[in-house]
């Protein structure tokens, strides 16, 4: 549904060139929720804006829903929907008026536009407030209107830029349900997020982006399997450096990452490694206040690919 080869974009910021996106190859299948995961500033939004025809790529090719991005952006526009991060409604009008206008901007005639607005209001459960002005809406309500606006012309692909950022947990869960509903209706959903749990729970496949490049791509399970074994996190306030020194090089430790107060160890089998870790630390006189065993998460995937934790960046 979306194929890109070597998509690139640089910006000039005060005489310096910033390579925001440095050659992105992507393949998104029809009818899946594809997640674009990465820290802020990784180039997710820039990539999305290129795919949505809002900025021109400096290089590379892309085909979206069968239309060529560089040669035929007008056709791409007809076939996709895009929901920006910052919202898109005008305070002084109602959601219903926005929906009708949006449909008409796609060339849909007025009676049909009205019907579509009514249907969108029903399926996104906007009825309670759709005839009030947008300035009265809550954050979650606004976001639902934004998405209803994005799909009013029934596109094959919808791009959602961080749709749950700034929402409370309940609105967030509601938004996930909406996104799944779009998939069940046959739409391909391309979503960016910097939330690990969101990528894990919502997306069929994900690509992890860092510094303008894709560092990993696959289903969340595939990616987590790549980080084989278990993860042991030891809490050693103030002594992380010392702990890392004694643990590094131990035969049962495959990889080690330390931060200020914790050391994270990748081991083959957590159950046998934990007593050994405790003995080693005890022998070196390092006191610890917690030890935790868990299966690799997407953050561990990110960490092993980039050397940084997504939570910290």
Partner 1 sequence: MKLARDTWLIFQRQMMLVLRNPVWVIVGIIQPLYYLFLFGPLLKGALRLPSAQAYRIFVPGILVQLAIFGTFFVGFALISELRAGVIERSRVTPVSRLALLLGRSLRDVVSLLVQAAIITVLSIPFGLAVGLGDALLAFAVLGLIALMLSAASYAIALKLRSEDALAPLLNTVGIPILLLSGILLPMQYAPHWLATVAKWNPFSWAVDGSRALFAGHPGDASVWKSLLILGVLTVVTVSWAARSFAKSVR
Q: Of 28-57, which residues contact partner 1 (CB under 8 A)?
A: 52-54, 56
**67 belongs to the binding site for partner 1 (CB under 8 A):** no
Beta strand pairing call for 80-83 and 33-37: unpaired
Among residues 11, 66, 68, 105, the one that binds partner 1 under rule CB under 8 A: 105
Q: What is the CA radius of gyration of the chain?
A: 23
Name which position in 8, 22, 70, 104 contacts partner 1 (CB under 8 A).
104
Distance CA 125, CA 191 (A): 22
Among 35, 60, 81, 163, binds partner 1 (CB under 8 A): 81
The 10 Å Cβ neighbour count of residue 109 is 9
| Residue spans of beta strands (DSSP E) within the chain | 2-13, 16-28, 33-37, 59-64, 67-68, 80-83, 157-161, 188-193, 205-210, 213-218, 230-235, 253-258, 262-267, 290-294
Beta bridge partners of 13: 16
Residue whose CB is less far from partner 1, 36 or 82: 82
Binding of partner 1 at residue 70 (CB under 8 A)? no
Q: Which tokens hold the place of 127?
A: 């009825």
CB 83 → partner 1: shortest distance, Å? Answer: 9
Query: Which residue, 86 or 249, is less far from partner 1 as judged by CB?
Result: 86
Residues 150 and 120: their CA atoms lie apart, in Å, by: 11
Exactly one of 82, 124, 129, 302 binds partner 1 (CB under 8 A); that residue is 82
118 touches partner 1 by CB under 8 A = no
Distance in Å, CB of 77 to partner 1, minimum:
5
Q: Contact residues for partner 1 (CB under 8 A)?
A: 52-54, 56, 74, 77-78, 80-82, 84, 86-93, 97, 101-102, 104-107, 149, 153
């Amino acid at each position: 549904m979306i194929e890109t080869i070597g998509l690139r974009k640089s910006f000039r910021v005060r005489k310096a060139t910033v390579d925001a996106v440095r050659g992105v190859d992507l393949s998104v299948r029809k009818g899946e929720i594809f997640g674009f995961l990465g820290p802020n500033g990784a180039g997710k939004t820039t990539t999305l804006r290129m795919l949505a025809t809002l900025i021109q790529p400096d290089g590379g090719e892309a085909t979206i829903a069968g239309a060529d991005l560089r040669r035929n952006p007008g056709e791409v526009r007809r076939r996709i929907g895009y929901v920006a991060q910052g919202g898109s409604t005008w305070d002084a009008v109602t959601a219903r008026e926005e929906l009708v206008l949006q449909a008409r901007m796609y060339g849909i005639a007025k009676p049909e536009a009205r019907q579509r607005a009514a249907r969108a209001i029903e399926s996104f459960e906007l009825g309670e407030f759709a005839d009030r002005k947008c300035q009265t809406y809550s954050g979650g309500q606004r976001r639902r209107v934004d998405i209803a606006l994005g799909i009013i012309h029934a596109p094959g692909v919808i791009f959602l830029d961080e749709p749950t950022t700034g929402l409370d947990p309940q609105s967030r869960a509601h938004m996930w349900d909406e996104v799944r509903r779009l998939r069940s209706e046959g739409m391909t959903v391309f979503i960016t997020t910097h939330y690990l749990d969101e990528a894990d729970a919502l997306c069929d496949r994900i690509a992890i982006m860092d510094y303008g490049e894709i560092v990993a791509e696959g289903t969340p399970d595939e990616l987590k399997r790549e980080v084989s074994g278990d993860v042991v996190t030891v809490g050693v306030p103030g002594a992380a450096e010392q702990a890392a020194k004694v643990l590094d090089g131990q035969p049962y430790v495959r990889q080690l990452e330390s931060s200020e107060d914790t050391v994270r160890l990748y081991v083959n089998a957590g159950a046998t490694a934990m007593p050994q870790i405790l003995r080693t630390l005890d022998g070196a006189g390092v006191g610890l206040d917690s030890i935790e065993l868990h299966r690799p998460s997407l953050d561990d995937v990110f960490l092993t690919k980039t050397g940084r934790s997504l939570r910290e960046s």
